[in-house]
Structure 1
Amino acid sequence: MQFFMRKKRLAARVVLVILALTSLPVLASDLRQETDAATALHPGLSGVTLVDSGAQALRHRDALAAAASQSIDAQYYIWNSDASGRYLAARLLAAADRGVRVRILLDDINVAGRDAVLASLAAHPNVQVRIYNPSAGRRGFLRILGFIRDFSQVNRRMHNKSFTVDGAVTIVGGRNVGDEYFDLDPVMNFRDRELLVAGPVVGQVSAGFEAFWTSTWTRLAESQASADPATDLSGLQKAATNEVTALGYQPPDNLAGYFQAETLQDLIWAPAHLVFDSPPTPEQVADSDEAQPVARELRKLVATARNEILAESAYLILVGESLDEAARLHAAGVQMRVLTNSLASNDLVTNHSGYARHRSAMLDAGIDLYELRPDAAACRRLIEVSRACDEHPAFSLHSKSLILDRRVVYVGSFNLNLRSTYLNSETALIVDSPELAEQIAASMEELLRPDSSWRVLRNSDGRLEWVTEVAGEEVRSTHEPMAGRWKRFTSRFYRMFPLEKYL
Structure 2
Amino acid sequence: MNWQWLVSIGLWLYAAALIALTLRILMKRRPVGVSLAWLLFLYIIPVGGIFAYLLLGERYLGHLRAKRADELFSYYSHWLEHILLEQQNLSPARPVLRPVMELTRGSLGMPIIVGSRWSLHCEASDVFERLIKDIDQAQHSIFMEFYIVEAEGALLPVLTALQHASRRGVDVYMMLDSVGSNRFLHSKHAKQLIAARVQLVDALHANLLRMAFRRQDIRQHRKLVSIDNSIAYTGSMNLADPSYFKTQSGVGPWVDMMVRLEGDIAKVIQGTLIFDWEMETGKRLEKHLQAPEFKAVKDDNLMQLLPSGPALDDEVLLQVLLTGIHNARESVMITTPYFVPDEALLQALKSAAKRGLDVTIIVPAKNDSRLADYAGRSFYLELLQAGVRLLLFKDGLLHTKTVIVDRHLVLIGSVNLDMRSIWLNFEATLIVDDEDFSAEVLSQIEQYRERSDHLTIGQWQKRPRYQRLLENLIQLASPLL
What is the aligned partner in structure 2 of residue 425 from structure 1? Answer: 426
Structure 1 residues 19-68: Cα deviation after superposition (integer angstroms, max 9, x where no partner): xxxxxxxxxxxxxxxxxxxxxxxx93211221122221111111111111
Matching of residues 226-241 of structure 1 within 5 Å: none
- Structure (1 or 2) with the greater helix fraction: 2
Q: Which amino acid aligns with 1:496?
A: L
Q: 1:183 and 1:146, CA in 2 relative to 1: closer, same or farther beyond 3 A?
A: closer
* In the alignment, structure 1 residue 352 sits paired with structure 2 residue 373: yes
Find the aligned partners of 1:176 and 1:311 in 2 and give their Cα distance: 20
Work out whether residues 174 and 192 of structure 1, in 8 Å CA contact, stay in contact via their aligned partners in 2: yes
Q: Displacement of 1:181 after TM fit?
A: 7.4
Find the aligned partners of 1:181 and 1:491 in 2 and give their Cα distance: 34
Structure 1 residues 452-500: Cα deviation after superposition (integer angstroms, max 9, x where no partner): 21211112xxx626xxxxxxxxxxxx449xxxxxxx9789646523332
Structure 1 residues 172-203: Cα deviation after superposition (integer angstroms, max 9, x where no partner): 00100111179997983211111111112112
Structure 1 residues 242-292: Cα deviation after superposition (integer angstroms, max 9, x where no partner): xxxxxxxxxxxxxxxxxxxxxxxx9895111101014538xxxxxxxx954
What is the aligned partner in structure 2 of residue 413 from structure 1? Answer: 414
What is the aligned partner in structure 1 of residue 171 from structure 2? Answer: 101
What is the aligned partner in structure 1 of residue 122 from structure 2? Answer: 52
What is the aligned partner in structure 1 of residue 477 from structure 2? Answer: 499
Structure 1 residues 281-308: Cα deviation after superposition (integer angstroms, max 9, x where no partner): 8xxxxxxxx9543332222222221101
Find the aligned partners of 1:275 and 1:166 in 2 and give their Cα distance: 21
Find the aligned partners of 2:431 and 2:244 in 1 and give their Cα distance: 24
Determine helix, strand or coil for the equivalent of 1:464: helix
Q: Which amino acid aligns with 1:48?
A: W
Matching of residues 357-436 of structure 1 within 5 Å: 357-374=378-395, 395-436=396-437
Find the aligned partners of 1:274 and 1:99 in 2 and give their Cα distance: 29
What is the aligned partner in structure 1 of residue 4 from structure 2? Answer: none
Determine helix, strand or coil for the equivalent of 1:333: coil
Matching of residues 225-374 of structure 1 within 5 Å: 270-280=301-311, 291-342=314-365, 345-374=366-395
TM-score scaled to structure 1, two decimals? Answer: 0.64
Q: Which amino acid aligns with 2:302?
A: P
Structure 1 residues 345-381: Cα deviation after superposition (integer angstroms, max 9, x where no partner): 212222201101222222233321111114xxxxxxx
Q: Which amino acid aligns with 1:369?
A: L
Find the aligned partners of 1:50 and 1:182 in 2 and give their Cα distance: 23
* In the alignment, structure 1 residue 134 sits paired with structure 2 residue 205: yes
Find the aligned partners of 2:260 and 2:299 in 1 and give their Cα distance: 10
Structure 1 residues 93-143: Cα deviation after superposition (integer angstroms, max 9, x where no partner): 011122111000111113435346435523434x2111211023xxxxxxx
Determine helix, strand or coil for the equivalent of 1:214: helix
Find the aligned partners of 1:81 and 1:502 in 2 and give their Cα distance: 31
Q: Which amino acid aligns with 2:456?
A: L
Q: CA RMSD in A?
A: 3.0
Find the aligned partners of 1:62 and 1:399 in 2 and give their Cα distance: 22
**2:194 aligned to which of 108, 116, 122:** 122
Q: 1:88 and 1:363, CA in 2 relative to 1: closer, same or farther beyond 3 A?
A: same
* In the alignment, structure 1 residue 195 sits paired with structure 2 residue 259: yes
Find the aligned partners of 1:53 and 1:210 in 2 and give their Cα distance: 28
Q: 1:178 and 1:495, CA in 2 relative to 1: closer, same or farther beyond 3 A?
A: farther
Structure 1 residues 143-163: Cα deviation after superposition (integer angstroms, max 9, x where no partner): xx458x459611111110011
Determine helix, strand or coil for the equivalent of 1:158: coil
Q: 1:60 and 1:110, CA in 2 relative to 1: closer, same or farther beyond 3 A?
A: same
**1:211 aligned to which of 275, 279, 301:** 275
Work out whether residues 254 and 399 of structure 2, in 8 Å CA contact, stay in contact via their aligned partners in 1: yes
Work out whether residues 208 and 278 of structure 1, in 8 Å CA contact, stay in contact via their aligned partners in 2: no
Q: 1:150 and 1:71, CA in 2 relative to 1: closer, same or farther beyond 3 A?
A: same
Determine helix, strand or coil for the equivalent of 1:63: helix
Determine helix, strand or coil for the equivalent of 2:456: strand
Find the aligned partners of 2:341 and 2:195 in 1 and give their Cα distance: 45
- The alignment of Structure 1 onto Structure 2 pairs a total of residues equal to 351
Work out whether residues 114 and 299 of structure 2, in 8 Å CA contact, stay in contact via their aligned partners in 1: no
**1:162 aligned to which of 224, 238, 241:** 224
Q: Which amino acid aligns with 1:500?
A: S
TM-score scaled to structure 2, two decimals? Answer: 0.66
Determine helix, strand or coil for the equivalent of 1:130: strand
What is the aligned partner in structure 2 of residue 77 from structure 1? Answer: 147
Find the aligned partners of 1:365 and 1:328 in 2 and give their Cα distance: 8
Find the aligned partners of 2:177 and 2:122 in 1 and give their Cα distance: 24
What is the aligned partner in structure 2 of residue 287 from structure 1? Answer: none
Q: Which amino acid aligns with 2:357?
A: V
Q: Which runs of 5+ in 1 are unaligned?
A: 1-42, 137-144, 221-265, 282-289, 375-394, 466-477, 481-487
Determine helix, strand or coil for the equivalent of 2:179: helix
Find the aligned partners of 1:296 and 1:190 in 2 and give their Cα distance: 29
Find the aligned partners of 1:103 and 1:202 in 2 and give their Cα distance: 16
User: Identity percentage over the alignment?
Assistant: 20
Work out whether residues 294 and 426 of structure 1, in 8 Å CA contact, stay in contact via their aligned partners in 2: no
Q: Which amino acid aligns with 1:134?
A: H
Q: Which stretch has the larger CA shift, 306-315 or 365-374?
A: 365-374
Q: 1:87 and 1:491, CA in 2 relative to 1: closer, same or farther beyond 3 A?
A: farther
Find the aligned partners of 1:179 and 1:166 in 2 and give their Cα distance: 25
Work out whether residues 302 and 434 of structure 2, in 8 Å CA contact, stay in contact via their aligned partners in 1: yes
